[in-house]
Structure 1
């Protein structure tokens, strides 16, 4: 059964393909139903492989996506020459035939390309990777300057439910690139006065602030909540034993 996807709405060149998978359409059973794409979550491996094959066929991908062994790092790999399942949290490509992909279930997937359609990239930006600089490192892989790039923010846990401690706020403030960036970081955290030193954090706002501080001005997406939308998205905070949605980007021939 074909896996259902969202086609990101952003003004990319015609030769850039992108998609975000939904829960519906695959063959995984509870609690991974239906379109889990991750092998590391204790789902039946044959179901995951079937889901991945279905995705390749339904999207007419030029190749199997480069599935990463994601560890909340800031490491990126060049997809055309990467080995299978490299330990990294992002990939980039300037070649037809390579598909960049990240898997998420509350963390933020970020897709990027340049306006000329010569390079694409996908990054897994949980709060640790985002704080550590994975997006600025992804931007730095492009040959074109940042103001000629486009970014799309895929489904992540929303700012109404993503609770973190004060140490997370401080960690982001310590990594601010300039005063304007620091101010944007502070605005992305809302203190929960009745819960002590707890904040509601806006991953989307933090990603926009990081991208803007890195010179990227065209930023799209950022209007989903994986935690609240159980019909379409997996959420680790909602259900610790769950699947993963995929966010993909590639160059068409």
Structure 2
């Protein structure tokens, strides 16, 4: 489902910014809660009921933004109580996801800066500032593209994830593999990215029609899936698309 959503937005364009980025963050958090247990001794293969609860709450936030998008945007700077509740949940979920993935250091550092933003008026000298209440801070994290849904999430949801789609094989990450296997897997992934670009852009040698764009997308997915059979079929589709488009380009030149 996650792959399908990002492929769809890459081909047909993403929805409005906050909806797109909030959905990306929610899906990443949900996966994190289901893959990384709350405690080191907990099972990695059987998520607990609390993990499922956190994953479900993560999905609630983008649905809230989608349902009341105009209200969230127009209330920027004047957040409602429900906006603050959703923003607080967002911050808590992101911090917990970071703790599970990378340890305690980054969440602690983030909390220190949040506290500094709230109690800056208590600091001495050059470190003192006016200070902000939690309503203002949480609204900044939640309701615009300068907080959690900032540039890094934009790059991740629009570009980086499309390349991660092709890292389904450990060989591509050079894990438990030989140099030859790693190079072969990297080559098929690069061909898959090329076909995905053809499906998204709709041009190679000549304009690509809808049918060929769908065929190119299918070939990209086959090259994405590890396995010699899928790689062969994907390569055949790639060769067919190139030959068809070259012939089409010559026909257009003659005409």
Name the TM-score class by shorter chain: under 0.3
Q: TM-score, normalised by structure 2?
A: 0.26
Q: Which has the higher helix share?
A: 2
Which is richer in strand?
1
